[in-house]
Amino acid sequence: MSEKKPAVWLRLYSLLVYGFIYAPIIILVIFSFNTQKLNVRWEGFTLHWYSELFTDRQIFVATKNTLIIAIISTLVATVIGTLAALAMHRYRFPMYNASETLMYVPIVIPEVVMGISLLVFFALINFSLGITTIIFSHIAFNIPFVTLVVRARLHGYDKAIDEAAMDLGANEFTTFRRVTLPTIMPGVLSGAMLALTLSLDDYVITFFTAGPGSTTLPLRVYSMARFMVTPEINALSTVWVLFIFILLAVGQFAQRRRI
Amino acid sequence: MITEQIGERPKLKFSFTRLLRENFKAQGIFLITPANLYLFIFIVIPLIIVVVLSFLSRGSYGGIEFRFNLTNYTRLFDPLYGKVMIFSLGVGFGTTVICLLTGYPLAYFLAHAPIKQRSLLLFLILLPFWTNFIIRIYAWKMVLRSGGLLDVALQWLHITQEPLNLLYSPTAVMIGMVYEFLPFMILPLYTSLEKIENSLLEAAADLGAPPWKAFLRVTLPLSFPGMIAGTILTVIPAMGMFVVPDLLGGAKTILIGNVIKNQFLTARDWPFGAAASMLLMLITMVLTLYYTRKAGFGEELLV
């Protein structure tokens, strides 16, 4: 496209959109340091809400649950999703198209429908709701996203290097471990990153598959935010935002180094 | 040497590893099976159960009665729920149209920004959306509530005198929805706008077309796939959304997503909730098929 700079009005407009996107988050962060409990007007600077946050037992449990769910579901979904991506990239097998369609189902159906269908499913097989059911559900919506990302990475994959490895006497497993996997690793990692953030972010499906004692951070923030506005939610949000940004930065850094 | 080794290997009657090593098809099946099995158990079976459930009826004690009937579906066309459906469609399409109108110029700006800055500018659009969804909506609650930051800002600028009372209104829901879905519109639009060759616009100019005409006749039609992809990515989640109406709309703004949620959690009429879910699925499927037929399932959807 042209190297000519966009028109002035377009640049001003874009600045406005960026403002619209960032303003609420910046305000959220600033008001986490507010002394006023109602949090309407700025009164003064305090770290009180942060100390409140770090001693909040429920927040601690919710954080622990969220991390357990995100890590386990990411690991499982990454393995299953990567295998599926390899299968779809290199092989033709019976029901290929059906498998591909199956991959799109969780992406295309509305989240609320997926949530209630899992709720009904677990109720029917008498599986009591809790962390386990949330993990099962998160794996289900994460697999297609991992596959999608890894397949995109495999798109330019040169099969000749696999064949070379096998010509040199490596069996399929060694070839996979020593040649294929290292090559597609950046794709696998970004798939895992996507799965991790989707899992950390999920509210709707977790909401329907959670039971007593398995509250996650998004569920906790929701129940707090529904009825009140207190700087403690702002403090929690700020820590959360910071955590995600660090995670993203680390992910970016790791990928840069590998390429 | 290698061939010799293989030749010497004793022939086994049946070996799973040998099957995998030698049969190409078996390798593919071996790799795809975990995903297929998992998605079949946790996606397909639950959906089939919901389909069946939608034809049953609610028992006297909140349980489920196994009697096939269509009352759940006919109930959906009650004026009460009909209104909710129309309202949901309105909010879904309203959100999409606003996202399209506000997102298009930005996507155009991104596609025309200097290449060096482009990925940074794009990253800045996406960055806030990696933070938690509930947190973003909560932030809007702070901004929009009566006497909240928007009111304070507008009164300070002497634009308004009275609080706007925006929170718990359909307007608040729309603002939250547009905020939430804007990047889903911008990204595919950007992908398709970026692909347009500059030579096409130069050719249009050479043939005497003023820039606005070149835009209308060249750029706009060529960005159509991006518009379609953005619309699908926006309208589907917007229609089933219940979190934004819950947090920003109060009790006054009820969408089909809220109806489904309430039937499963508070009203405990699962068969009716299942029927409402089926209707939502049907609407999204029809929309997806209609749009993808029109523009083809482009890679814009997969960014």
Q: Which range of residues forms the domain containing residue A172?
A: 50-258
In degrees, to the nearest 5, what angle opens at C-alpha B132 toward C-alphas B179 and A207?
Answer: 105
| Cα A144 to Cα A78: distance, rounded to the nearest angstrom | 10
> Is residue B214 a contact partner of residue B129, using CB atoms and an 8 Å limit?
no
Nearest to A102 among B36, B102, B201 (CB): B36
Name the closest residue on chain B to residue A242, using Cα atoms: B131
Tell me if B62 is assigned to some domain: no
Specify the pLDDT at position B302.
46
Q: Do B236 and A172 touch (CB under 8 A)?
A: no
Examine residue B246 and state whether it is found in any structural domain, yes or no. yes
DSSP letter, residue A1: -
Please tell me whether residue A203 adopts helix, strand or coil conformation: coil
How far is Cα A208 from Cα A122, in angstroms, rounded to an integer?
Answer: 10
Domain contains B4:
no
Q: Give me the residue from B32, B132, B140 closest to A240, CB to CB.
A: B132
The reply to whether residue A80 touches residue B132, judged by beta carbons under 8 angstroms, is: no
Span A152-199, pLDDT tens digits: 888 777 778 888 888 888 887 888 888 888 888 888 988 998 899 899
The count of structural domains within chain B is: 1
**Neighbouring residues of A169: CB distance < 8 A, sequence distance ≥ 6:** B2
Q: Cα angle vertex B290, ends B287, B295, to 5°?
A: 120
pLDDT digits 0-9 by tens, A8-17: 899 999 999 9
Beta-carbon separation of B25 and A197 below 8 A: no
| Torsion sign over Cα B146, B147, B153, B159 | positive
Per the document, the length of chain B is: 303
The total domain count for chain A is: 1
Query: Does some domain include residue A15?
Result: no
B283 found inside a domain: yes
Query: In angstroms, what separates the C-alpha of A76 from chain B's closest C-alpha?
Result: 10
Residue B247: inside a domain? yes
- Taking the model in full, what pTM does it have? 0.85
Tokens of B132: 């938690």
Residue A122: CB atoms within 10 A of its CB come to 22
Residue A11 lies in a domain: no
C-alpha distance from B79 to closest chain A C-alpha (Å): 23
Nearest by Cα to A134 from A51, A70, A47:
A70
pLDDT in tens, chain B (303 residues): 444 445 455 555 566 666 666 677 788 888 899 999 999 999 999 999 999 999 988 876 667 777 888 888 988 888 888 888 888 889 999 999 999 999 999 999 999 888 888 888 988 888 888 778 888 998 898 888 877 777 777 888 877 777 777 788 888 999 999 999 999 999 999 988 988 888 888 888 888 888 888 888 888 888 888 898 888 888 888 888 888 988 888 777 788 999 999 999 887 889 999 999 999 999 888 888 877 776 655 444 443
- Contact present, B296 and B225 (Cβ < 8 Å): yes
ipTM: 0.88
Task: Tell me the residue type at A139.
Answer: I
Q: Is A44 part of any domain? A: no
Task: Reduce the DSSP state of residue A64 to 3 states and report it.
Answer: helix
User: Which residues, including other chains, have CB under 8 Å from residue A245's CB and lie 6 or more apart?
Assistant: B127, B130, B131
Q: Confirm whether B48 is domain-assigned.
A: no
Q: Look at residue B12 and tell me if it is in a domain.
A: no
Identify all chain A residues contacting B137, using CB atoms and an 8 Å cutoff.
225
Residue B231 lies in a domain: yes
Nearest-angstrom CA–CA distance, A157 and A179: 11
Q: Which of B43, B127, B198 sits opposite A105 (nearest CB)?
A: B43
**Domain extent at residue B284:** 79-302
CA distance A130 to A111: 19
Query: At B265, which CATH number?
Result: 1.10.3720.10
The dihedral sign for the CA sequence B62, B67, B73, B75: negative
- Domain CATH for A248: 1.10.3720.10
